[in-house]
Each structure stands twice: as structure tokens, then as C-alpha cells.
Structure 1
Amino acid sequence: MAKENEAPDGTRRMMCPAEARKVQCRIKPHTLGRGIHLPLLDPKPNPTGPVLVCRQGSITVSPEAGAKQWQAEDYGTEKWQKIYFRLRNSVEGYNGFAKSPLAEAIEASGTRRIRGIAAQTVLLVFQIAHANRRKITNWVETLALNGERPRRRTHLRRRAEHKRPWAPAAA
């Protein structure tokens, strides 16, 4: 977890999540018993001992080392969830599009009748490329180009009538 704001040279002080009271850790017994709502970490045993952040309260992370784990929004916040779930829905929607049994059917390995993981991967890449092309073609057909009418109508979604949660009728 971030302990301080980023320094002018790009380094950042990070602290152990157990010390920040976000998790419980077996390496730090004083963090145990803080409540069942906190997850329990079980770090992998290491022949050289615990990682540096477990031996100290905090560490300094360079921009190169922290770039892989950096996120603009804090994990689990409402804003993070809004961004994450929108991206997740888009990925899952594309997976459903590419897995359609009427088109590429990438889930069915029987459509790639060849042995070997490398050969299967190459054929899968071609199937995904075809799914991309099909998606782009469908989108282009909904555009009005050169003042003409679009070839296809856009997908219109029904608007929800009520914004309240559904509840069963009283008996």
C-alpha cells in the first residue's frame, strides 16, 4: 500500500498491507485477530526469509519496479469498481461474441483439428482475428457514410421502467 505521495524523482514509499490494517499476516503475529472481515495472508516460504516489506515497516519502490502493480485508482473503491467492471463486462462480452457456435466457436477445440499447442494457438489467433473483423464489419454497417442510410440498424436497448430493486408481491 502507498504510504506517502510520489517523490519528485518518481520513487514511492510503500508499506505492508498488514501494517496498514488491511489484512492479517502470519509473519506479523500482532496483526492476527483483528477481525474476520480482514483476509489472512499466507506468504510463500522463501529460503532467504520473508520479503523485505515483511521485515521492515515500509520500503521505497522505484518507478520501474512499481509500474507493473501501479493503478490509478485504489483497489476496491467505488470508482475502481466502476472502471474495472465496465472493462470486465467488455472483455466477457467479446468472449461470448467469439465463442458463438454460429461463427468462430473458439471454445470448441474440435473446430481446430490439428495436434500440438503451437498449431492450436496459431489457428486460434486466426479465429480471433476473424471475430475482430466480423465485429468491425458489423459496426461499420451501422454508420451513415456519404450521406446514405446505414446498411443496418444499431442495437437499441430497452430502457428500464423502474430503478428500484425487484421484490416479490405480498401474498
Structure 2
Amino acid sequence: MTHSPQLWQPLQYGTAEWQRVYFRLRNAIEGMNGFGKDPLYECLESGGTHRIRGIAAQAVLVAFQLAHANKRKLATWAGSIAVDGNRPHRRATRRRKTKPLGSWNHEGYLTEPSE
């Protein structure tokens, strides 16, 4: 049985090598989908961000949103590499100031500081 050139693929479907490559690519795609669905940026999952009519207009809007997500991802990557021997630029983590665990009692309330 001969296969048409349209259906040819370099790795045999279902083999261990195919699975290794396929799942790595699949994880990359799903990671990018999650990145684009971030509600603080492009919010691709929400229909409320696509307030425009027509399939063509929707496609253009989504293309711009994905371009913005790609630009954010590239900027994050560029900020994580060292240039000219300098340390990479890293944003400070945004964490709340918390009280030590010893300042809570068994009921979950803050204890009054002893003087």
C-alpha cells in the first residue's frame, strides 16, 4: 500500500519517538493557550473581550491579541537572560507581608503580643 505525499510524516504514528515529540509539542501549545487566556492580559477565553461582529473581524482581533501575548512572552524571556556579563533583570516578587506562624493561636486568631 502506498501513501500519498499529503499524508506522509517523518515519524511513525504511535511509536515511542512520535509520542516523545508529540507530547512535547502539545505541552508547548497548551502552555501558550493558557498564557493567552490570562485574565489580566489578553483574556482570550472570555467572550466579553470580543465585542465585535463577524468572523473576519474576530479573527483579526484574536490575531492582535495573540501577537501581544507573543510579545509579552518574548519580553519575559529577554529579561531572563544575562547580557554583557550583567545579571539578568528579574522583577521583584509581589508577596504580601505575613505574620510569623507563631503569632496565631489554635483557634486561628492573632494572639495579643505579650509585654
Does structure 1 residue 121 correspond to structure 2 residue 81? no
Task: Name the counterpart of 2:90.
Answer: 152
Segments of 5+ residues of structure 1 without an aligned counterpart are: 1-14, 16-59, 154-171
> How many Å separate the matches in 2 of 1:101 and 1:78?
37
Task: Name the counterpart of 2:97.
Answer: none
- Greater share of residues in strand: 1
Match of 1:78 among 7, 10, 16: 16
> How many Å separate the matches in 1 of 2:52 and 2:28?
30
Equivalenced residue count is 91
- The TM-score with structure 2 as length reference comes to 0.73
Task: Name the counterpart of 1:143.
Answer: 81
The one-letter amino acid paired with 2:73 is: K
> How many Å separate the matches in 2 of 1:120 and 1:111?
10
* Deviation readout 1:105-131 (Å, 9 max, x if unpaired): 111121121111111111110000000
> How many Å separate the matches in 2 of 1:75 and 1:109?
36
Task: Name the counterpart of 1:104.
Answer: 42
The one-letter amino acid paired with 1:148 is: N
> How many Å separate the matches in 1 of 2:8 and 2:50?
38
- The TM-score with structure 1 as length reference comes to 0.50
> Percent of counterpart pairs with the same letter?
57
> How many Å separate the matches in 1 of 2:83 and 2:77?
12
* Deviation readout 1:131-169 (Å, 9 max, x if unpaired): 00000000000011122111028xxxxxxxxxxxxxxxx
> How many Å separate the matches in 2 of 1:151 and 1:133?
17
The one-letter amino acid paired with 2:75 is: T
- Greater share of residues in helix: 2
> How many Å separate the matches in 1 of 2:16 and 2:87?
41
